[in-house]
Amino acid sequence: MRPLIWCDIDTAALAENVRVFRRLVGPDVLLSVAVKANAYGHGLVPAARAFLAGGADWLCVHAPEEVRALRAAGVTSPIYLLGPAHLDDLAELAALEARLVVYNAETVDRLAALGVRARLHLKVETGNHRQGLELPEALALADRIRAAPGLTLEGVASHFANIEDTTDHRYARYQLGRFEEAVAALRAAGHALPIRHIANSAAALLWPDHPFDMVRLGISAYGLWPSRETRVAAALQGHAEVGLRPALTWKTRVAQVKDIPEGAAVGYGLTFVTSRPTRLAILPVGYADGYDRQLGNLAHVLIGGRRAPVRGRVCMNIIMVDVTDGPAPALEDEAVLLGAQGDERISAEAMAGWAGTINYEVVARIGAQVARVEAPRPLEAVEDALYRATGSSASTAEASSASRKPTSADG
């Protein structure tokens, strides 16, 4: 059956975003990309493949099931598990060759008792107060790992608490200082720690010259800036614009077009009443799909290249939008909920503003049941790329030969 709600995923854009970061941090730094949360809503397996095609060295996931899904799909790259694992799943994760973050003695003891080989990364506390160990406990756990045959302490990690929320990076620099102290103390105790990593997207964009041994990219690999503050701070620091390309377009189709009179109420709670004869398009998407209920009477969608405001509340699986001002859409016309259509764009940032959240949550919450379709690059982008590469006029061969492969099974 043909999906009525889907996301076109521009996998060429995902690969290109990785290349942007490769140029930024240089050839010697490991580039890992976080594909947790269904690859920030972009579809785990197709996004992972696109990143690896673009030159990513490692993938990061949050959940053990994501390690299993990537291995089942034939992904052979290193996979780093950012989140916790049930102690009973450690044997399988070791067999799948997941790199594991550790911050509990119980995890290390279970792995040691199993007698498996595993490469571990110690999470040190630098001020986020999420996962991680203060230095004395980190030193003790590192010694425990060293004492277990089969276990290798491959790396040390930490995570920033206040880097994308502000243009004032004093706290992030304080965390950097604590990270460097922890690394120095662990190395003084004889732990080699070949892979030190703390940089997320914002740190990679702000401090590309200080990536340590690996960066852990997330949001920016998907073509989105971590925040407006990060963008402003990067510009103030004199960094050139990096040209990230958003890769996701969330679409649905018009299910009904209807004309209603002036003074008619729309949807649950009668929260919108028309002030003129109004033409509505009914779209089969709602909060159960990740279209936030906060968007009622606030968001726009794109139909026929024009903005159509959402009228009334968002239902579980339906929204109503106002198409009075444009030509009447036809049944099954495409509507864009997020992304571009014609000259208009609904950005993840605009939607985040309407919904009172951040672009991360907007894309990550698009339901896993929504199909992800690997879409060809827009013709203009292909032409741009060819023009830049050859200096000559573009051929459209790539665009016309690109196929549309449904990948909903990966969702």
d(CA 295, CA 362) in angstroms, rounded, equals 11
Establish whether 123 is a catalytic residue: no
Site pattern 217..236 for ligand PLP (x: CB under 6 A)? xxx------x----------
Judged by beta carbon, residue 164 or residue 322, the one nearer ligand PLP is 164
Task: Of 63, 145, 66, give the one whose Cα is nearest residue 104.
Answer: 145
State the sign of the Cα–Cα–Cα–Cα dihedral 226, 229, 233, 234: positive
d(CA 339, CA 251) in angstroms, rounded, equals 9
Of the candidate residues 107, 200, 249, 252, the single one contacting ligand PLP (CB under 6 A): 200
* Lookup: tokens for 88: 């009973």
Q: Which of the stretches 196-204, 312-320, 341-349, 379-387 binds ligand PLP when contact is defined by CB under 6 A?
A: 196-204
Residue in the block written with tokens 């041994």: 213
**Any contact of residue 245 with ligand PLP (CB under 6 A)?**
no
Q: Which of the stretches 70-78, 195-203, 242-250, 346-354 binds ligand PLP when contact is defined by CB under 6 A?
A: 195-203
Contacts of 220 (CB under 8 A, 6+ apart): 17, 21, 201, 204, 205, 226, 244
Task: Of 269, 295, 285, give the one whose Cα is nearest residue 352.
Answer: 295
CB 336 within 8 A of CB 249: yes
* Lookup: tokens for 4: 């009525």
Residue in the block written with tokens 């106002």: 322
**Any contact of residue 102 with ligand PLP (CB under 6 A)?**
no
Q: Catalytic pick from 258, 268, 387, 405?
A: 268
**Any contact of residue 244 with ligand PLP (CB under 6 A)?**
no
Judged by beta carbon, residue 55 or residue 406, the one nearer ligand PLP is 55
**Any contact of residue 82 with ligand PLP (CB under 6 A)?**
yes
Of the candidate residues 201, 230, 252, 407, the single one contacting ligand PLP (CB under 6 A): 201
Establish whether 36 is a catalytic residue: yes
Q: Which residue is nearest to ligand PLP (CB)?
A: 218
Site pattern 149..168 for ligand PLP (x: CB under 6 A)? ----------x---------
Judged by beta carbon, residue 43 or residue 286, the one nearer ligand PLP is 43
Cα 400 to Cα 166, 325, 344, 378, distances in angstroms: 43, 33, 23, 10
**Any contact of residue 216 with ligand PLP (CB under 6 A)?**
yes
To ligand PLP, the closest distance from the beta carbon of 216 in angstroms equals 4
Site pattern 32..51 for ligand PLP (x: CB under 6 A)? --x-x---------------
CA 64 to chain centre: 18
Judged by beta carbon, residue 200 or residue 407, the one nearer ligand PLP is 200
Q: In sequence order, what DSSP letters do the residues of 285-300 get, joined into one string?
A: --GGGT--GGGTTT-E
Q: By CB under 6 A, name the binding residues for ligand PLP.
A: 34, 36, 82, 159, 200-202, 216-219, 226
- Active site residue ranges: 36, 268
